[in-house]
Amino acid sequence: MATSLTRHRDLEAAIDAVVESYRGPEEINSLESAALPNKRAVIDAFNHLKPVLYLGFYSTRSLTPANLRHTIAEHLYPAYEILVDQIVRVFTYEKTMGRAPAEHGQHWSEDVVLRLFNALPALRRTLNRDVLAAYDGDPAAKSVEEVVFSYPAIEAITAYRVAHVLYLERLPMIPRIISEYAHGKSGIDIHPGARIGERFFIDHGTGVVIGETSVIGRNVKIYQGVTLGALSVPRGGNAQDGGKRHPTIEDDVTIYSGATILGGETVIGAGSVIGGNVWLVHSVPPRSKITYEPGRA
C-alpha cells in the first residue's frame, strides 16, 4: 500500500517529467506567455464596444441628449485602457519572437485604438444596414429589436466588423480572439480578414464558415452550413501577403444551406442563386442559378 511519502515522491516525479517536456527544441512552449494578451480582457473590451454600437438596446438607463455622451464615455474609456494594454502585450510578445517591428510600442497601440474608435460611427451605419437586411430578408422577424437581441448572425457580424478594423492594422491575435468569441456564441465562423460589403445577412447561421481571403459584395444572403473555403494549398498564402485562397461573391447573391464554394479564383457573379448542397470550385457568370445534381461532380 502506497504511503503518503511514496505518493509525494510520485507527484514530484510527475512534475519533473512535465517540466522536462518544456525543454525540447521542437516543443510549443510559450514560456514568455506573461506578455501574451489576456483573452478574457479582450472579450471584456469588445463587450464595452458592442453597447456603443447598439446603445439604445443595451443601455441600463433611460437615454437622453443630456446623458448620451456620458453613457458612451462610460464604455469607451475602459475599452480604451483594456485594448491599449492588450495591444502592448501582443507586441511585447511578438518582439520576443522576432516577429514585430521595434517601434510598435505604447504610442502605436494608443493610435490603433483611437483609429478603431474613430471608425465606430461608420461601423454603426454599416451594422444598421446589416440589421435592416436581416429584418427585410426574414419574414419571421417581428421587429428590428428582435433581430438585434436574438439573431446569432448579428452577434457574428458585429464581432467581424470590429475585428476587421483591427486586422487591417496587421494586429496579431486580438482580431481572432474577438471573432472566435463570436464563433463560440453564434456557431458562425467569420475570419476577420474577409472583406464583406454592407447589408450582409446570414439566415439561421449555424455552421457557416467564411475564410480569410473571402470577398463578399453588397446585399448578399447566405444560409446555414455554407462554406466559403480554400482548396488544399501549401502554407504561406497569407492574405496579408497577397495570396487569395477563398472565393469572391459579387453583389446580390443568395447561397442556400449546405453549399460549399472553394478557391481563390472562384467568382460567383452578381445576382446569382446557389442552391443547397452545391459544391463549386469554378466561377459562374452573373445571374446564374446553380442547383445540386446527385452523381455529378
Encode burial over 161-190: b for 16+ CB neighbours within 10 A, e otherwise.
bbbbbbbbbebbbbbbbbbbbbbeebbbbb
Between the alpha carbon of residue 273 and those of residues 20, 23, 153, 266, the distances in Å are 57, 55, 20, 15
Per-residue pLDDT for 59 more than 90?
no
What residue type is 187 in one-letter code? G
Where are the domains positioned within the chain?
32-188, 194-297
What would the pLDDT profile of 159-209 be if each residue is shown by its tens digit?
999 999 999 999 999 999 999 999 999 999 999 999 999 999 999 999 999
Give CA angle at 168 (79, 182), nearest 5°: 55
CATH number for the segment(s) 32-188 = 1.10.3130.10
What would the pLDDT profile of 198-251 be if each residue is shown by its tens digit?
999 999 999 999 999 999 999 999 999 999 999 976 655 454 455 899 999 999
Write down the mean pLDDT value for the chain.
89
Fold of 194-297: UDP N-Acetylglucosamine Acyltransferase; domain 1 (2.160.10)
Per-residue pLDDT for 296 more than 80?
no
Per-residue pLDDT for 101 more than 70?
no
Most confident among 27-31, 53-57, 98-102 (mean pLDDT): 53-57
As a whole number of Å, the CA-based R_g of the chain is 23
Of the two residues 60 and 222, the one the predictor is more confident about is 222
β-sheet bridge partners, residue 228 = 210, 261
User: What percent of the chain lies above the pLDDT cut of 70?
Assistant: 88
**Listed range (4-18, 101-115, 141-155, 273-287) with the worst mean pLDDT:** 101-115
Per-residue pLDDT for 297 more than 50?
no
- Model confidence, pTM: 0.86
Per-residue pLDDT for 58 more than 70?
yes
User: What's the mean pLDDT in 120-125?
Assistant: 95
